[in-house]
Chain A
Amino acid sequence: MAGATPAEYIGHHIQNLTYGRHPDGHWGFAHSAKDAAEMGFMAINADTMAWSLITGIAFCCLFRKVAASASVDRPPRWQLAVEMVVEMVAGSVRDAFHGRNAIIAPLALTIFAWIFLMNLMDLVPVDFVPFIAAQMGLSHMKMVPTTDVNATFGMSLSVFALMIFYGIKVKGPGGFAGEFLFHPFGKYMVLFNLPLELVSFLAKPLSLSLRLFGNMFAGELVFVLIAALIPFWLQWLLAVPWAIFHILVITLQAYIFMMLTIVYLGQAHESHDDAH
């Protein structure tokens, strides 16, 4: 599992378990970063898929169980925690979203809880699961799905698709195109408006996913650096404060992803026609 030098150790820990087609035609796991790069498009990060599905199913089961056994007279402790999350999300949606759409609040709740759980995997010691995976014969194992840029782009592109869908549904194709053509400076500046609006529209999913990825990747990397460069009996001195600080980052990034999703979808529901 651990490489000989710190650089090898770190390189090993930021490598996904990639399943795909090797250049010679057979399918299998990549054994190094070079292998994974040679697979090109025909590859899938098996560990990202597995852990995001595990956390997603855990979220669904937990919330389903709490909702099914909810009680007014004697609420169990889990119910209070879930109610806090639901009320926080409902309040954010009420504040930031002024359209009429029943899907926004459940979407926001799913995004918040799912990203929170995926980020939470960051607090598991960096070598714990890779060690177990190595005993089972898997060469690489990256536990935090949000440190894989594919996962964060998957989520932000889904939000992007919803933005386009609701933009066209609420404003009609003409109104949606009008947003790009006539928006900041009126209809005589079309050639100027279009690139401006297009860039700001395309930058939304990009910044949404890179923000989450960058934060979680950098956080994970600091844990790996601590594990690689410091003798094991001193690691707690740095790892514990960083883990405590990281709890804030984990929650904040889940909250920001949720909040920006609500704001972007709110923009898709709002028409700017009254301004002209």
Chain B
Amino acid sequence: MESIVAFSALAAGLMIGLGALGAGVGIGILGSKFLEGAARQPELVPMLQARMFLMLGLTDAVPIIAIAFAALLMFANPFLGQGG
């Protein structure tokens, strides 16, 4: 019982932390490339911006899904019912 709780807490922390790490790096690269593109070709900014937000949403979803599952582990742990 205690070990399940402890491992779930560790898992939740790792899910949020690693998800945020990857998405942070990814979105940082995305933003820097967008600014580079905008500086080179300012007339393309509206098109680039729409695509950037689309990619931002796609990238953003991965850590958010990890957070949702981590929250599930924290508040409604499905493993607690099984085993002892």
Contacts and interface: CB of A to CB of B under 8 A. Distances in A.
A, B in one complex: yes
B57 A10 contact: no
Contacts of B64: 211, 214-215, 218
A255 B68 CA distance: 21
Contact of A214 (B53, B54, B67): B67
Nearest to A256: B57
Given A10-B75, A214-B64, A252-B53, 5 more contacts: A14-B75, A210-B61, A215-B64, A218-B67, A255-B53
A52 interface: no
Interface in A246-265: 252-253, 255-256, 259
A252 B56 contact: yes
A7 interface: yes
B76 interface: yes
Give the top 8 A-B pairs by smallest Cβ distance, nearest first.
A214-B65, A211-B61, A256-B57, A214-B68, A217-B68, A218-B67, A214-B64, A252-B57
Q: Is the interface of A mostly helix, strand, loop or mixed?
A: helix
Interface in A132-169: none
A213 interface: yes
Choose among A213, A253, A256 the residue with the greatest number of B CB atoms under 10 Å from its CB.
Answer: A256
Given A211-B65, A213-B68, A221-B68, A256 B75 contact: no
Interface of A: 7, 10-11, 14, 33, 207, 210-211, 213-215, 217-218, 221, 252-253, 255-256, 259
Range, interface on chain B: 10 to 19
A214 B75 contact: no
Contacts of A252: 53, 56-57, 60
Contact of A259 (B54, B56, B68, B76): B54
Contacts of B71: 217-218, 221
Contacts of B61: 207, 210-211, 214-215, 256
Contacts of B58: 211, 256
A256 B76 contact: no
B75 A253 contact: no
A211 B67 CA distance: 12
A33 B75 CA distance: 12
A10 B53 CA distance: 31
A33 B76 contact: yes
B57 A253 contact: yes
B75 A11 contact: yes
Interface in B28-84: 53-54, 56-58, 60-61, 64-65, 67-68, 71, 75-76
